[in-house]
Amino acid sequence: MRNSILSVSILVCFVVFAALFCPGCKSDDPNKSSVDESEPNAVVEPQIEGVAVTVNGVNILESEVEEIIRPNLDRLAEKTKNAPPGTTEDYAEQFRQMALEQLIRRALLDAQIRQAKIVISDLEVRNHIEKMASSEGMSVAAFLDAIKRQGRSVENVRREIRAGLARNQFMEAQWEGKINVTEEDAKKYYEDNTEEFKVPELVRASHILIQPEVIGDPNSMAKAKTKIEALLAEIKGGADFAELARANSDCLSAPNGGNLDFFPRGKMTPPFEKAAFSLKVGEISDVVTADYGFHIIKVTDRKEPSTISFEQAKERIIEKLTEEKQIEFANEYLEKLKAEAEIAYPSKT
């Protein structure tokens, strides 16, 4: 199975303020690369150590930019080992520009929120965490534990949620009564995008993943294989699959008994997909070997190919089209704030 990443981002002005990259650990060596200064209201100021940009007198630090882009730079470095010279630097600059844009927009909107005196209570944050956990099919405790296992701070996530809810609340007040999507709009979308409503064959599966301490190391791989073979023997002997997954699996699905929900072909690595789609409901695979570890797979349900009717899809389509209009509105609103703002970049040295 592909690496599971638990998403803890919330819909902040829909995708406008959702994190472009997963926040990671701060670096002691912030990125100092230059930025695009072509905006008509951009002012170049003397270099201030550690400042990436100043928005209406408020400094955005290089460390804030670094915090956003660092996880992506780390992943990029791994994936571009054999890429042509300059590839990593080009992508890094793109990441930096997007992070700066995110931070500028966030600063502008947060200033509006402070003026509006919007305050999000602890109860609202707690309720949202409960909804997020429920959407993942997890308890709150398991959800927070999964966040920690990703190396993220629960308190930082709470702060992100609090800020996101405030931004949503503010923007909802701005577009109230200005956005309307009708059933006719939804019907036209359905008729123009028929392929989108064709559902392929789906399999619902649970699995146990055992990863070696060092991927590719023969001794580590052998140890991991011995462990999963022992687990398979327990399952064949009548042990509960979900309980063994909770206690042993190295996947983030472990707290949910290894449940991966429904997935189509093309979403999993080839060995995993081949095994899952060859099993009948209730059947359990032998050990399935992947590059990064070993699986035991149990298929719990299947769905044959089908087409979603308009009536079934109508609510989702209206929601989608409404969301698109909200994104468009939010972007236009933020561009207006940006055009009126004083944005100063430190001078190049």
For each of the domains in the chain, give its residue range(s) and CATH number, in order of start: 42-178+325-346 (1.10.4030.10), 201-304 (3.10.50.40)
Per the structure block, which two tokens stand in for 272?
């995993």
Amino acid at 56: N
- Binned at pLDDT 50, 70 and 90, residue 158 comes out as very high
Instruction: Take residue 31 and report the two structure tokens written for it.
Output: 């990125």
The pLDDT value given to residue 19: 33
pTM: 0.60
**What is the Cα–Cα distance from 344 to 107, expressed in whole angstroms?**
13
Q: Do 6 and 254 meet the contact criterion of CB atoms below 8 Å apart?
A: no
Return the H-helix or E-strand segment holding 63.
Answer: helix 62-79
* Rounded mean pLDDT, 23-35: 33
Which pLDDT does position 149 carry in this prediction? 85
Position 31 scores a pLDDT of 34
- The 10 Å Cβ neighbour count of residue 239 is 12
Band of pLDDT at residue 191, cut at 50, 70 and 90: very high
* Residue 130 in tokens: 């409960």
Kindly indicate the confidence band of residue 349, based on its pLDDT and cuts at 50, 70 and 90: low
Share of the chain above pLDDT 90, in %: 69
| Euclidean distance between CA atoms 19 and 103, whole angstroms | 10
pLDDT digits (tens, 9 = 90+) for 202-256: 999 999 999 999 888 999 999 999 999 999 999 999 999 999 999 999 999 999 9
